[in-house]
Amino acid sequence: MAKKIFDILPPQEVEKAEVIKKTKEIKKEEAPLPLVVNEEEIDSEGNDYDLLEKISFKPGPILLVLALISLSVFGYFYLAKALIIIYPITELSSLETDMIIDQGINSTSASAIPGRIYTSEKTISKEFSSSGTALKESKAEGIIRIYNAYSTSPQSLVVNTRFISTEGKLFRIKKGVTVPGGHYEGQELIPGFIDVEVGADQSGEEFNIKSSTFSIPGFAGTPRYTYFYGKSFQAMTGGFKKEVNQVTQKDLDNAQTALEQQVIAECLAGLKGEIASETDLVLLDKAVQTKIVNTSFSATVNKETERFTVTSNAKSTALVFNSRDEKIFVINFASSQAPDGKKLNQNSLDIERSLNKIDLESGKIIFSLNIDVEFYSDIDLSVLGQALKGKSLDEAKICLENYPQIDKSSISLWPFWVKKVPQKEEKVKIELQLD
C-alpha cells in the first residue's frame, strides 16, 4: 500500500508530532528526567503505537544529581569552616622605671621583686718550690780525752786551745778545762785525763774524721808537747759545706697570689654552677662578691726547704633574682602605661638594665629599666565574629578593611565551594596575629 502524503496533518498526527516535539525539547534542555524514544518502532503511518508507552525511564543520573546536591548542603552546614587572621594596629613605646631586688620580700610588688642570697666556700692547698739558695756549712764535732802524763800537777787549758789530729785537722776545745795530774802506781806515772768537747776549726765534710790521736801545737818546743795529748774513740761528725734551697719573700708572695686567684675562680665557678642548676635565676657579675677568708704557709722566709705548702680559703656571696619575677614586674608596669583602647604585646618586651646601687650586706640591688614595648588595638573578637557570620567572602573582606582597629587581615573558607562565612559561631575561628 502506497504511503499517503498530507500537507496538513490529521488531528491524531498533530498530537503525535507535538509529543515528539516536546520530547525533543525536553531532551534538548537536559531535563532531570531524560526520555528516550525508540524511533524504529514508530510506523510510517504514525498511528500504531502510543509514544508515551515507548518512553524508557533511567534513575542513575537523577540519583547522582541528588547526591551532589545533598553533599553540598551537608558540606555547607556541617563541614564549612572559616579561619580569619587579624593583624591589629600597633604602636611602639619606650618606658623607664626603677626595680629593686630585695632579699627581704617573698612576692613581686609594684616596686620590687624577691631576691635570694647564695654562698659558696672553697679551700685549696698546694705545694710550691723554693727559689732561694743559701750556703749552709757546719763544723764537725766530737769528744776527745786529754791526757796529762807530764806530772801529778793539774794543767789548765783555755777555751779554743788547739788540737791537731794525726790527719792534720785542727780542732779546738769549746770551753776551758783543767786536766788532772797523773798519779804513780809504784814507779809508773799513771796519766790523769778529762773528756772534752771539741769542734773543727773549719766547716766541711773533710773534718768528719775517724778516731784519732791529737797533739797540742801550743806546747810545741816544750817537754809538755810530748806528755800532753788527746785521743778520740769515735768519729767526728756534722761537718759539711753545701748550697741549700731557701724560701724567699718573693716565693711566698707569688705563691699566695697564684693560689688566691685559683681558689677565687673555683669558688665563683662553684657558686655559678649551683645557681645555673636552678631554672630562670639571674646572676649579675656585679651582684657577686668573692673574698679570701684566710691564707696560711708551711714555711717562713729563709727557711731551708725545697718545697713549701700554701693553703687558701675563699667565700663567694651572690644576690640573684628570678627572670620570671622580673617579667611579671615589667608586664604589670607596662600594662599600667598602655594607652586607652590598647593592650600590651607581652612578646615584644625588650628590657635593658642599668645598675644603680648594690648592697650585698642588706641584700638589695636597685636597677633602672629601659623598656621597649609594643601596644596593639584592643579588638573584641566575639563582636567581630557576630559581624562577619553569614557574609560572603567579599562582604567579609570589606567589613574587615573598614574595621578601625585592624591593620590587615586574611580569610580562608573551607571546603573550596563554601562562599560565605558560616552562621554557627563554633565554625568560625578568629586568630589575633601579632608580628
Task: Name residue 32's amino acid.
Answer: P
45 has a pLDDT exceeding 60:
no
> What are 362-395's pLDDT values in tens digits?
999 999 999 999 999 989 888 898 989 999 999 9
Closest CA to 172 of 223, 217, 208: 217
The set of residues, in sequence order, having a beta carbon less than 8 Å from that of 328 and lying 6+ positions away, is 108, 113
Residue 119 CA to residue 428 CA, distance in Å, equals: 56
Q: Which residue has the cell 491524531?
A: 12
Q: What is the mean pLDDT of residues 18-28?
A: 44
State the pLDDT at residue 129: 96
Question: CA 349, 351, 355: angle at the middle one, nearest 5?
Answer: 165
Q: What percent of the chain has pLDDT over 90?
A: 71
10 has a pLDDT exceeding 80:
no
State the pLDDT at residue 74: 55
Of 52-56, 101-105, 113-117, 361-365, give the lowest mean pLDDT range. Answer: 52-56
Dihedral sign for Cα atoms in the order 72, 77, 81, 82: positive
Dihedral sign for Cα atoms in the order 147, 149, 152, 158: negative
Of 46-55, 170-179, 361-370, 408-417, give the lowest mean pLDDT range. Answer: 46-55
317 has a pLDDT exceeding 60:
yes
Q: What are phi and psi of 194, to 5 degrees?
A: -150, 140
Q: What percent of the chain has pLDDT over 70?
A: 82
pTM: 0.58
21 has a pLDDT exceeding 70:
no
State the pLDDT at residue 24: 45
Burial class (CB in 10 A: 0-12, 13-18, 19+), 50: exposed
Of 61-75, 180-194, 415-429, give the lowest mean pLDDT range. Answer: 61-75
Confidence of residue 282 (pLDDT cuts 50, 70, 90): very high
Confidence of residue 61 (pLDDT cuts 50, 70, 90): low
In angstroms, what is the C-alpha Rg of the chain?
A: 61
Q: Residue ranges per domain, the chain?
A: 11-58, 117-131+246-321, 136-242
> What are 205-247's pLDDT values in tens digits?
999 999 999 999 999 999 999 999 999 999 999 999 999 999 9
Task: Name residue 140's amino acid.
Answer: A
State the pLDDT at residue 67: 58
In the chain, % helix, strand, coil (3-state, to 5) comes to: 30, 40, 30
Average pLDDT, the chain: 86
24: left (phi over 0), alpha (psi -120 to 50) or beta: alpha
Select the highest-mean-pLDDT range: 27-36, 63-72, 255-264.
255-264
102 has a pLDDT exceeding 90:
yes
Confidence of residue 327 (pLDDT cuts 50, 70, 90): very high
147 has a pLDDT exceeding 60:
yes
Residue 348 CA to residue 350 CA, distance in Å, equals: 6
Task: Name residue 15's amino acid.
Answer: E
146 has a pLDDT exceeding 70:
yes
Q: What is the mean pLDDT of residues 48-56?
A: 47
Q: What is the mean pLDDT of residues 134-140?
A: 92
- DSSP class of residue 318 equals E
Q: Which residue has the cell 697564684?
A: 258
State the pLDDT at residue 7: 42
> 32 or 146, which is more confident?
146
